[in-house]
Chains A and B, each alone.
Chain A
Amino acid sequence: MSARPSTRPAARPATPLDVARVRADFPILANVRPHGKPLVYLDNGASSQMPQQVIDRFVRYRQWEHANIHRGVHHLSQTATEAYEEARRKVQRYLNAAEEREIVFTSNVTDAINLVMQGYGRKFVAAGDEVVLTHLEHHANIVPWQMLCEEKGARLRVVPIDDAGELVLDEYERLLGPRTKLVAVTHVSNALGTVNPVKAMIATAHRHGVPVLVDGAQAVQHMKVDVRDLDADFYAFTGHKLFGPTGIGALYGKAPLLEKMQPYKGGGDMILSVTFEKTTYNAIPHKFEAGTPPIAAAIGLGAAIDYVGAVGLDAIAAHERALLAYATAAVSEIDGVRIYGSARDKAALISFNVGGVHPHDVGTILDHEGIAIRTGHHCAQPVMQRFGIPATARASFAFYNTFDEVDALAAAIRKVQQLFG
């Protein structure tokens, strides 16, 4: 940290993305003025905004295409079914899954993880077995496994992190053993931004014959994910962080694994036949999709995937890398500000604290400057405990964020310091 007073904007890195053009697709960014200030939306890690193309697709479905899916002989039902199944194929292609039946729609990533816990965990984890997690997990990838372990008399093992927020991989190797039944790991930490080396971790787990679930909630909006290249057994993500609607998420699972799992919810659509004596379950993925799904949200997710594809994940990744470098420099040169998480491979987010000021006060003052960030434990209390803090302020970026917005963030942090003097 240097004491350099800096109203002087730093040199801006080159970016391959026409940010002004993509910003024009997001009506909320230009039209909402919190407290009379231009909106600077830096809470993308919690939920991202939807481009007009996704909103339009969502509306078009509701206006012209809606009926219940799968069981209808009539025109609208077939249109809706086709659109819903096309969205599944879009997810399949986005993750490079081998088959569309390996994609299960869920209501969010939490639901997807719970599906694996209920369908795989409850069937295959027994007393004395172990589930390996990491210290970086979101509560959504901790609590279901705790519930499972409590029910079964199994044990959680936790891969530690170092001061940079990187996993200690030697420890990870040591935790794997004959009792390990599953590894559940986040691809990208929502609290620190650490990108975990999941491909190598999966290879290690597979040497022990252990399947791996990857929580991709913070990954799929930032980078290309290829589940076959990773050799992931399960990969889960959530639509509302990928510029899509809330209420929709997806689970990728290797077909043989999904097939041997038990269904998670019982009801309509997940059966082939029902008598009071016996029910025959439907084939995957329908076995896991009981009840009428959020059809419009799934179709919206498909449109979001198309949108991201059109912008281009390579350009997105390059722009976000530049933003992260610029923001890291701009924030760390402010005296008295500490950044948490300095992994070598890091997604575009900055968790920080302003010395002597509680993050909630930082958040409120930034809000009055029009800047939306998240403050708190980010549903990752173990990470906070690791650093001995109750909370952080977190600015999380998307491809539509600009260098000007980073400058606004840095200026507002200085304003916090002045106020609290």
Chain B
Amino acid sequence: MDSKQLYQEVILDHNKKPRNYGKLEDATHRSEGLNPLCGDHIWLAAKIGGDRIESIAFEGESCAICKASASMMSVAVKGRTVAEVETLVEHFRAMTTGQEDAETSGRYLGRLTVFAGVKDLPSRVKCAILPWHTLHAAVNAEAVTTTEGDADPVARAAE
């Protein structure tokens, strides 16, 4: 794979101009996500009204893959129900850990399939997953999560 296939225009664009970047004062759910191996660190805040994500914001210190993933995720989940979001989280994890065929991923994830390439780069899978992992933690009222240890999404996928 060429680096241009991984760093596609959309990813570079979301990295440069991340959507929904910043704070969310009236958030109902917050979580902090940390990838201790590479140092990616994001804070995610969501306002959930009824059962829907009304607004979402993130900020942090991370690589382009992680930041673009967070940005595109924020766009994708806004307005969706928590149950729908959990489904997206599952498919995003399955896609990036190579557990799902491209067609299924495409049906659920649409444009988010630009991240499928990370499945061939074990060291970068967690960069892409971290925002999703953190969102999952936020909607389940976990204040902090990491991509290591019991919560390791890659190890879980391998089980």
Chain A residues at the B interface, C-beta cutoff of 8 Å = 35, 357-361, 364-365, 368-369, 375-377, 390-391, 415, 419-421
For A368, the chain B residues whose CB sits under 8 A away are: 1-3, 6
- Across the interface, B3 reaches (CB within 8 A) one of A360, A364, A377, A391, namely A364
| Contact A358 to B64, CB < 8 A, known contacts A364-B121, A390-B41, A391-B39 | yes
**Can you pick out 26 interface pairs between chain A and chain B where the beta carbons lie within 8 Å of each other?**
A35-B1, A357-B64, A358-B62, A358-B64, A360-B65, A360-B124, A360-B127, A361-B7, A361-B63, A364-B3, A364-B123, A364-B124, A365-B3, A365-B7, A368-B1, A368-B2, A368-B6, A376-B39, A390-B39, A391-B38, A419-B4, A419-B12, A420-B7, A420-B12, A420-B15, A420-B64
- Across the interface, A364 reaches (CB within 8 A) one of B6, B12, B16, B39, namely B6
In the complex, chain B residues 35-88 whose Cβ is within 8 Å of any chain A Cβ: 37-41, 61-65
For A375, the chain B residues whose CB sits under 8 A away are: 38
Q: Which of B4, B12, B63, B121 has the most CB of A within 10 A?
A: B63
Known: A357-B64, A360-B124, A420-B15. 11 other contacts (CB 8 A): A358-B64, A360-B63, A364-B121, A365-B7, A368-B2, A376-B37, A376-B38, A377-B39, A391-B39, A420-B16, A421-B12
Q: How far is the CA of A71 from the CA of B3 in the complex (A)?
A: 56
Q: How far is the CA of A114 from the CA of B141 in the complex (A)?
A: 40
Q: How far is the CA of A368 from the CA of B41 in the complex (A)?
A: 25
For A365, the chain B residues whose CB sits under 8 A away are: 3, 7
Chain B nearest Cβ from A311, distance in angstroms: 32
Q: How far is the CA of A360 from the CA of B61 in the complex (A)?
A: 12
Closest 7 CB pairs of A and B: A358-B63, A360-B63, A368-B3, A365-B3, A390-B39, A361-B64, A361-B63
For B12, the chain A residues whose CB sits under 8 A away are: 419-421
For A357, the chain B residues whose CB sits under 8 A away are: 64
Chain B nearest Cβ from A394, distance in angstroms: 14
Q: How far is the CA of A364 from the CA of B4 in the complex (A)?
A: 11
Q: How many residues of B contact A (CB 8 A)?
A: 23
Closest to A377 in B: B39
Q: How far is the CA of A376 from the CA of B63 in the complex (A)?
A: 11
Chain B nearest Cβ from A27, distance in angstroms: 25
Q: How far is the CA of A45 from the CA of B118 in the complex (A)?
A: 26
For B4, the chain A residues whose CB sits under 8 A away are: 419
For A376, the chain B residues whose CB sits under 8 A away are: 37-39
For A364, the chain B residues whose CB sits under 8 A away are: 3, 6, 121, 123-124
Closest to A369 in B: B3
For A390, the chain B residues whose CB sits under 8 A away are: 39, 41, 61
In the complex, chain B residues 110-154 whose Cβ is within 8 Å of any chain A Cβ: 121, 123-124, 127
Q: How far is the CA of A376 from the CA of B61 in the complex (A)?
A: 13
For B1, the chain A residues whose CB sits under 8 A away are: 35, 368
Chain B nearest Cβ from A415, distance in angstroms: 8
Q: How far is the CA of A390 from the CA of B41 in the complex (A)?
A: 10
For B63, the chain A residues whose CB sits under 8 A away are: 358-361
In the complex, chain B residues 1-30 whose Cβ is within 8 Å of any chain A Cβ: 1-4, 6-7, 12, 15-16
Q: How far is the CA of A305 from the CA of B82 in the complex (A)?
A: 61
Q: Is A419 a contact partner of B7 (Cβ separation < 8 A)?
A: yes
For A415, the chain B residues whose CB sits under 8 A away are: 3
Closest to A35 in B: B1
Q: How far is the CA of A421 from the CA of B7 in the complex (A)?
A: 12
Closest to B11 in A: A361
For B64, the chain A residues whose CB sits under 8 A away are: 357-358, 361, 420
Closest to A384 in B: B39
Q: Is B7 a contact partner of A360 (Cβ separation < 8 A)?
A: no
Closest to B65 in A: A361
Q: How far is the CA of A357 from the CA of B15 in the complex (A)?
A: 10
Q: How far is the CA of A375 from the CA of B37 in the complex (A)?
A: 10
Q: How far is the CA of A375 from the CA of B40 in the complex (A)?
A: 12
Closest to B4 in A: A419
Q: How far is the CA of A358 from the CA of B124 in the complex (A)?
A: 13
For B3, the chain A residues whose CB sits under 8 A away are: 364-365, 368-369, 415, 419
Q: How far is the CA of A376 from the CA of B39 in the complex (A)?
A: 7
Chain B nearest Cβ from A314, distance in angstroms: 37
Chain B nearest Cβ from A393, distance in angstroms: 12
Q: Which of B3, B38, B62 has the most CB of A within 10 A?
A: B3
